[in-house]
Amino acid sequence: MAKESISGEENVREHYRTICEITDGDVSAEVISVDLEGMKREASELVKIADNIVVKIPMIREGVKALAWCRDPGHPYQLYPRIQRRSGDPGR
């Protein structure tokens, strides 16, 4: 959404809604939170947008927990890699 200069939760949801209306395929929508409760809240809201939303959850410890919570046969979820560097890590 940042590339499209879209900000604010309702504006982001409306943008996803518009994309979902013009495409027959899956539309990926990722959670922004990195804590379990935030991911669960965001995922719950994202799946309400349209039937073709696929919620992307970061592949971090809390994301794996969220994915286990998100099991819903009606809405697909997927993990995506999010690299988190520790303080002082040179990134090698």
What positions carry a catalytic annotation?
56
- Per the structure block, which two tokens stand in for 64? 């794996």
CA distance 14 to 87: 36
User: 28 has which bridge partners?
Assistant: 54
Residue carrying structure tokens 């809240």? 41
- Whole-number Cα distances in Å, 67 to 12, 19, 28: 22, 24, 15
